[in-house]
A and B are shown apart, each in its own frame.
Chain A
Amino acid sequence: MTAVIETQRLGKRYGRRWALSDCTLDIPAGRVVGLVGPNGAGKTTLLNLAVGQLAPTSGSIEVLGGRPAGGPAQLAKVGFVAQETPTYAGLSVADHLRLGARLNPGWDAALASDRIERLGLDPARRAGKLSGGQRAQLALTLGIAKRPELLILDEPVAALDPLARREFLQSLMEAAAEHELSVVLSSHLVADLERVCDYLIVLVDSRVQVAGEVEELLATHHLLTGARRDPATLPADQHVISASHTGRQTTLLVRTEAPIHDPAWTISQVSLEDLILAYLSQSADTTRGHRPVLEVHK
């Protein structure tokens, strides 16, 4: 399977702060990839590196087998909807489509005007007068109608109300399915990603915590509930992601390839949201310098 984004120990530093460090990823084609993490985790940095808006400080990145923004052909293959979905406030919707047509040899004019019509946008309206949701849709239209192989979106729905958010994601999914696009989408809203993604990357504090197919992640993570015990006594192939204890009970989220046979545990399915939250809070603990093995909640 070919990779849409392949990074080797990729890092980006601003002054003395690493916005992204030691990031090694291999994202397969044909997926809708969710990039999740808290604000400031390095999501935007990673995506900007992938579209060539930034140059890496260390390591390497290849997108669809080429250097990001390495030339017109590379630019044509990757669509990008940047954070806050920027558009030219003074230019009309029609001007934006014209811009797309002039600047992209692979421009699909029929697709673009169809989408604009379906969205009910007035072509003569200036982009500055559009609502946030309409502007995001216009930016998405520009991204899709250049007919890229990979579409990268940086927090496209962050500023939208729930209804506009759902509509946006829905039209993104339709386009992805129709044009067999690979999509990489960042968000700090777990619920959005749960709905649309089939591949997940969790990025916290400039590091990748976990990356993989959603199905596989769900199949290899288990929620174990049982009588109170020290997580250190678990078999070596069971990695504890999070642990919580009450006076008599212990609840663990573990990752393991092998089935769990220990009858002491009640094993239950973990939701994607719980899984993501576990990784987010895990790294919050590690950054504090110590990770309590046994934490008692009474």
Chain B
Amino acid sequence: MIWLTWRQFRTQAATVFAALAALAVVLAVTGPSLAHDYAAGIAACTAHGGCSTFVDQFFNDHQTLYFGLVAIVMFVPAVIGLFWGAPLITRELEAGTHRLVWNQSVTRTRWLATKLGLIGLAATAAAGLASLAVTWWSSPIDTAAADRFPRLSPLLFDARGIAPLGYAAFAFTLGVTVGILIRRTLPAMAITLTVFAVVQIAMPLAIRPHLIPPVRLTTTITATNVNGFLISPGRPVHVTVGVSEPGAWIISNQTINAAGHVVSGVPVSLSTGPCVPAAPPRPPFSQACFTKISQLGYQQQVAYQPAGRFWAFQWYETAIFLVLALALAGSCFWWTRRRLF
């Protein structure tokens, strides 16, 4: 059974792993010089000053490739679900060969177990390889961009650490399950992609932030912690603040009034008084304005996940997707034994 699985799978496996190997080689060649450039630049700016300029410059120089690699790591599980998972059984059903192979002296359960086991392992290995290589190569840029794009933020989180292994296992079993239910390759691929995309979007928006209760912080709005304003004439000023811990993933950022109710912004006059915006390049609001906001009793309420929780989140995420993958695999066994013919 292992032989047959491999014989049927080898072309698909070769395609994906050849592409990943090429990627790994490119990263292995360019990675050390990237790390060296960053270390040298940091050493120089620590000695002579101007580190923030260097870090910005360094990030801007590499950001296209950086986000390209993030996209690749996010695509690997989708590709696996589409091209390894969905056709696994539909191909047999479409060609009728399931009636050939299920009448050899091997039970359907063993047939499916071998296929899911071996290809599932290959799927997690492929995603693991991609994530490992990209995480390693990107680590200087991750450090440089920690403020703007913390590792915990939705996009980066999906392309770092061990979470991609869980995604790959999930996408693969999702493809197989959809294939069993739909029985035709192309519709199964389309549905697999849609469901996988929906799950990948819903996870960071709706589920991940609540896996660990976020740290909640209520703080006065000051010139140092303020992160941004949204000034529109006649409307309250919408304020966001930062937290002092670098790399934190801010989940909510709300202004509350003196009574403790959430408001859409601070209703200060922009035409008279201390909060008349200054012209660029000076910061729009003066210290007097912040004092005034504070006097009016407005504070900022922030919920965030500290950077130190990155690996805890990675483990949770991976475990959730592995459990989903196991549940889907279980349903595959059920359907194959009961309903298919």
Contacts and interface: CB of A to CB of B under 8 A. Distances in A.
Interface stretch (B93-101, B187-195, B273-281, B314-322): B93-101
A87 B97 contact: yes
A139 interface: yes
Interface stretch (A75-83, A111-119, A184-192): A75-83
Contact of B341 (A54, A76, A105): A54
Interface residues of A, number: 35
A75 B105 contact: yes
A89 B95 contact: yes
Nearest to A73: B105
Interface stretch (A91-99, A204-212, A217-225, A241-249): A91-99
Contacts of A105: 105
B99 A103 contact: no
Contacts of B103: 51, 53, 69, 75, 78-80, 82
B29 to A, nearest CB: 36
Nearest to B110: A72
Contacts of A72: 105-107, 110
Given A71-B107, A76-B105, A139-B100, A102 B3 contact: yes
A278 to B, nearest CB: 33
A280 to B, nearest CB: 27
Contacts of A89: 95
A76 B3 CA distance: 19
B258 interface: no
Contacts of A103: 1, 4, 101, 104-106
A99 B4 contact: yes
B282 interface: no
A272 B107 CA distance: 39
A87 B105 contact: no
Contacts of A55: 338
Contacts of B4: 99, 102-103
Interface string A144-168: 0010000000000000000000000
Contacts of A83: 96, 99
A82 B4 CA distance: 20
Interface residues of B, number: 21
Main secondary structure of the interface of A (DSSP, over half): loop
Contact of A104 (B3, B8, B105, B341): B105
Nearest to B339: A55
Contacts of B7: 91, 95, 99
Contact of A100 (B97, B104, B108, B341): B104
Given A54-B341, A102-B1, A102-B3, A142 B100 contact: yes
Contacts of A75: 103-107
Interface string B80-100: 000000000000000111011
Contacts of A79: 103
A271 B145 CA distance: 89
B75 to A, nearest CB: 26
A250 interface: no
Contact of B99 (A78, A80, A100, A102): A80
Contact of A82 (B3, B100, B105): B100
B334 interface: no
Given A53-B341, A91-B7, A95-B7, A86 B97 contact: yes
Nearest to A107: B105
A136 B158 CA distance: 50
Contacts of B106: 72, 75, 103
A51 B103 CA distance: 7
Interface string B93-129: 0011101111111111010000000000000000000
A22 interface: no
Interface in B24-41: none
A99 to B, nearest CB: 6
A48 B341 contact: yes
B102 A53 contact: yes
Contacts of B341: 48, 53-54
A143 to B, nearest CB: 8
A40 interface: no
A69 B102 contact: yes
Contacts of B105: 72-73, 75-76, 103-106, 146
A84 interface: yes
22 contacts: A53-B99, A53-B102, A53-B341, A71-B107, A72-B106, A72-B107, A72-B110, A75-B107, A86-B95, A86-B96, A86-B97, A87-B97, A88-B8, A88-B97, A89-B95, A91-B8, A99-B3, A99-B7, A100-B104, A103-B105, A103-B106, A104-B105
Given A53-B99, A103-B101, A139-B100, 5 more contacts: A82-B103, A86-B95, A95-B7, A102-B4, A103-B1
Interface of A: 48, 51, 53-55, 69, 71-73, 75-76, 78-80, 82-84, 86-91, 95, 98-100, 102-106, 139, 142, 146
